[in-house]
Structure 1
Amino acid sequence: MIAFFLKRKAGFLNLAFKALILSSFFFHLNFLQATGLNNVKGLYGERATGFAGAFTALSDDPSGAYYNPAGLSFATHNYISVTASSYNQTEKVYSNIVGLWQDYKRESNTYNPNFIGALKLFDNWAFAFTIVNTISEDYNQGDQFRDPGYFPDFSEMRADYSENAFQFLFGPSISIKISKNSAIGFTLYGFNDRRRRNIYGEVSVKDGTYGIVSINDNRVTNGMEPIFGIQTQLLNNMSLGLSVKKKFATDKNRRYSSRSILGKDHFFIEATDTQSSVTAGGNLIRSYDPVSKPYAFSGDSNFTGSIPEPIETRFGIAFFPDRFLTLSTDIIHTSSYSKKKKYYLSDYKNNIVYLYDYEQKEVRQKETINFAFGMEYFFLDNLALRVGYFTNRSVVKKFKVYDYLVSTFSLVDSSARLNYSLNDRGGLIYNLPSSPNTSPSQDWMNTEGYTLALSFDTGQASTSLSFVHEEGKGKGQIELLRELPPLNSRLKSWTIILAATIKY
């Protein structure tokens, strides 16, 4: 689509090409994600963290409200549980992002509680209220690239980047015993999900000119997340658990704006989740320059305020060989998700309408299956060791060489593959070939993690110290510079959690 517009405005191409490259690079930085493209967002709760999230067949403390509310009925005490301190450091590196051996690193550091919960037992049922901080990211950095190899006209590129992302759940849970060995449970969470990105970039051009890019991207999404669970004790030493959850976004807001200046060329992009002067694929729709006449396009926005809303199903089995040892494993299935919608742009000057896409690519994700395994062993009456392992598969389709070739050639010959029809006012409707890319970031990465926890339990209270390490490698494709090959990327994340529980 970019090639079609630039070819159609040949005179405009010479003036705007450098500014388009400048805007494309910094706009791409806006979509690089350190986290968010995998389904496992974190581990929550004193015991569940040590079990690496393999808690569906246990769930016998307040964190069970998140994993499987049915297990709350099998708790042995009333609980007040707080993850008082959670420190996380996440580092992600993209290799050769602006040239060979010129890497780009993102680093987030956060320190806050990630779980608070209370559980009260009654005769045949239990009630809990929990608050879960599922996403917490904080980036604030400045980067500089000298003589970027992929941008030979630039002598230096600088970017100041800040990002804050938070998601927290809050709500009540109820669990009811339907027999001596079985129970059902229900949690109704409300959620608030917000992400704010700000980028200020500068480039120095070898001809003595300079360029500036300013990007602001803010999204706030609110909604509900119900969780239904069932748990049964088959034998004295084994239990089974099943839970199903799904988010429903009920209120959403997105505002995006950017301004690019390179010499005399000025480019403005403005968008909300309903109306836009640009598409999320990076297609330049509205621009102004002092030589050419201004071209103005407007239409449906592909900058959505939505988030993915897949169905997550967890199935767990727990074994109790003796009173000192507990083994637990979970299988976590997350469905694929997509949202269909036709996107139109209107060129009022020439009475042309462009049909440029058929879905919201920012929320599209593929099906994943993850596994978790955990073990708890009391080597003393009041001292327990917990270890665990979990996988975290990417929700983005793996980018292959074939996809790269298709993406590249679709950019080159898109104008040759257009088809069109007349609208009701006699104007042309162009059907533009949709990009094969899955999401604006095309950031594919599978990771795996390990947990280690030490817990001191007196029977009336417990304290635990947990360590979580997650790492992985993958590839990312720059959506706005699709002529470049996929980038190698790697992630490392460390979390230290201090939690305390009172039993009464």
Structure 2
Amino acid sequence: MKWSFPARLACVCLLALMYCPCQVTADEHHYRNMFIGGRAGGLAGAYTALSDDTAGCYYNPAGIAMAPSMSISASANTYQRSLKVYKNTLTGTDGKQFDWQQTSSSLLPNFFGVVKKAGPGWLGISYAVPDSTRRRQDQVFTNITSSLGANYVGQYVINIDDTDNTYLFGPSYALRFGQNVSLGTTVYVHYRHKQVIRNQLLQFNEGEHLWVNYYDNQEDWGIRPILGLIWEPVQPIALGLTVSQTHVFAKERREQTILRDTTSSVFADTNRVDLVTSDYHQGMDAPVQTTFGMAWFVSPRLLFSTDIAYNAPIEDKETVWNLSVGAEYYIWDNLALRIGIYTDRANTPDLNPNLTNQPEHIDIYGMNGGISLYHGHSSVTLGFSYGYGSGQAQVIADSTVIQDATIQNGALFLAASYGF
């Protein structure tokens, strides 16, 4: 939903950011926002046909049945930073163009898991944070043009402080059938908390002003079941398949808008403040995701892996295909290097120049890497991730103007695994 001002304010061409809050909070237009686990992160998420450690609870629970030791625990910490730029969003009275810049950063333990032999199979418990964003924008612009002619905007202040976090926690269980096939399942409890806070002030050259304060708080509860299969048809090849979907069964959302406007004769009392609130209680499921993976064990020291992920269309989200390709090489028996590339394509359509209030479309392409030091069944991993994307956005409400947009995502992760 986009939100804009009444028709009396339509003449002010820079009433920007009056648009859907999800466009500048955590990236709901992409499905791959944070990598889970040290080894999987170094392989850029190409892990569906491997998954033989605690991260398999998240990527493919069938893989934990092939764990190399009787019990494994692992944790990972990630520092993530992002920069998004909307180019030439505003125009100064001297003709100079101004960009919007939004930064995001987070530092958190985004994974913890334990896997242990239990009965005929393997039992796992894991906690994962696949999405965590805190996006900020603090900018002040002066002498900005408006369609009111000589009554330009002397000062435009915009402040954004948005957070969006998704948490998963739950059990996994996997069974191995013979030497070549394993099946597994994970049932995650899904919790998401999103908070949007933004404030805007426009002070016009002739003394009028417009102040808007917007607040949006949302909590989702649901479950995310994951079904997984791994099959080794011949000795050097492993194939993996997973199917998952998040079902949101409880959603609480409250929006609040405070508006003070002295640009309109309708507001005869210049001290008048409008307050609008709304509540939502309707859950919404995520698309079904199917991932196929293949791993090729070239030698005891070298492997290649690849994942192809299909996200089905749902409501306003389009079909999305993503690809991950990774390689792992053991320099020595206790030192491994990993590198991978990935795509993170947008689930929104290309922008139409004849339409308004469209969600942004930015496809991201990236590279990951990592190094692991082993001692027996225990390891320490240090890795990185970098992604870059360019596309288009439409940040001004009820306008057909389209802005070019870019995004850069970077992350460092440190993971430790203990096997015994």
TM-score, with normalisation over the residues of structure 1? 0.76
Per-residue deviation, residues 199-223 of structure 1 (Å, max 9, x unmatched): 1211111111222111101111110
Q: Quick one: structure 1 residues 94 and 234, their matched pair in 2 at CA, closer, same or farther if it must change by over 3 Å?
A: same
Query: Any conservation in 1 of the 2:79–2:105 contact (CA below 8 Å)?
Result: yes
Residue aligning to 1:429: none
Query: Any conservation in 2 of the 1:33–1:443 contact (CA below 8 Å)?
Result: no
5+ long unaligned stretches in structure 2? 268-272
Matched, 1:73 2:62: no
Q: Hey, what's the Cα distance between the residues in 2 that align with 1:30 and 1:371?
A: 28
Query: Any conservation in 1 of the 2:146–2:153 contact (CA below 8 Å)?
Result: no
Q: Hey, what's the Cα distance between the residues in 2 that align with 1:192 and 1:151?
A: 44
Question: By how many angstroms is 1:179 displaced?
Answer: 2.6
Amino acid of the structure 1 residue aligned with 2:353: Y
Question: By how many angstroms is 1:459 displaced?
Answer: 1.4
Aligned positions of 1:288-299 closer than 5 A: none
Question: By how many angstroms is 1:19 displaced?
Answer: 9.1
RMSD of equivalent CA atoms = 2.1
Amino acid of the structure 2 residue aligned with 1:252: K
Residue aligning to 2:134: 138
Residue aligning to 1:168: 167
Question: By how many angstroms is 1:307 displaced?
Answer: 4.9
Residue 147 of structure 1: which of 143, 150, 154 is its match? 143
Question: By how many angstroms is 1:306 displaced?
Answer: 4.1
> Would you tell me which structure has more helix in proportion to its own residues?
1
Amino acid of the structure 2 residue aligned with 1:398: D
Amino acid of the structure 2 residue aligned with 1:28: Y
Residue aligning to 2:337: 385
Q: Hey, what's the Cα distance between the residues in 1 that align with 2:319 and 2:139?
A: 35
Question: By how many angstroms is 1:150 displaced?
Answer: 5.0
Per-residue deviation, residues 122-164 of structure 1 (Å, max 9, x unmatched): 4641110000011111134421111223565322210121111
- Structure 2 counterpart SS, 1:180: coil
Query: Any conservation in 2 of the 1:33–1:441 contact (CA below 8 Å)?
Result: no
5+ long unaligned stretches in structure 1? 7-12, 275-304, 339-363, 409-439
Amino acid of the structure 1 residue aligned with 2:304: L
Q: Hey, what's the Cα distance between the residues in 2 that align with 1:36 and 1:151?
A: 33
Amino acid of the structure 1 residue aligned with 2:107: Y
Residue aligning to 2:23: 32
Percent of aligned pairs sharing the same letter: 25
Question: By how many angstroms is 1:18 displaced?
Answer: 6.0
Per-residue deviation, residues 453-481 of structure 1 (Å, max 9, x unmatched): 01101113100100000111010123623
- Structure 2 counterpart SS, 1:28: coil
Aligned positions of 1:103-502 closer than 5 A: 103-122=99-118, 124-149=120-145, 153-263=152-262, 265=267, 266-273=273-280, 306-307=283-284, 309-338=286-315, 364-399=316-351, 403-405=352-354, 407=355, 442-478=359-395, 480-483=397-400, 485-502=401-418
Residue 37 of structure 2: which of 20, 42, 45 is its match? 45
Q: Quick one: structure 1 residues 200 and 101, their matched pair in 2 at CA, closer, same or farther if it must change by over 3 Å?
A: same
- Structure 2 counterpart SS, 1:108: strand
Q: Hey, what's the Cα distance between the residues in 1 that align with 2:98 and 2:12?
A: 21
Amino acid of the structure 2 residue aligned with 1:496: L
Q: Hey, what's the Cα distance between the residues in 2 that align with 1:164 and 1:332?
A: 27
| Larger relative contact order, structure 1 or 2 (CA cutoff 8 Å, min sep 6) | 2
Question: By how many angstroms is 1:177 displaced?
Answer: 1.4
- Structure 2 counterpart SS, 1:114: strand
Query: Any conservation in 2 of the 1:82–1:116 contact (CA below 8 Å)?
Result: yes
Aligned residue pairs, count: 400
Q: Hey, what's the Cα distance between the residues in 2 that align with 1:31 and 1:227?
A: 26
Q: Quick one: structure 1 residues 117 and 333, their matched pair in 2 at CA, closer, same or farther if it must change by over 3 Å?
A: same
Q: Hey, what's the Cα distance between the residues in 2 that align with 1:490 and 1:478?
A: 13
> Would you tell me which structure has more strand in proportion to its own residues?
2
- Structure 2 counterpart SS, 1:112: strand
TM-score, with normalisation over the residues of structure 2? 0.90
Per-residue deviation, residues 260-290 of structure 1 (Å, max 9, x unmatched): 111163544322116xxxxxxxxxxxxxxxx
Question: By how many angstroms is 1:62 displaced?
Answer: 0.6
Question: By how many angstroms is 1:39 displaced?
Answer: 1.3
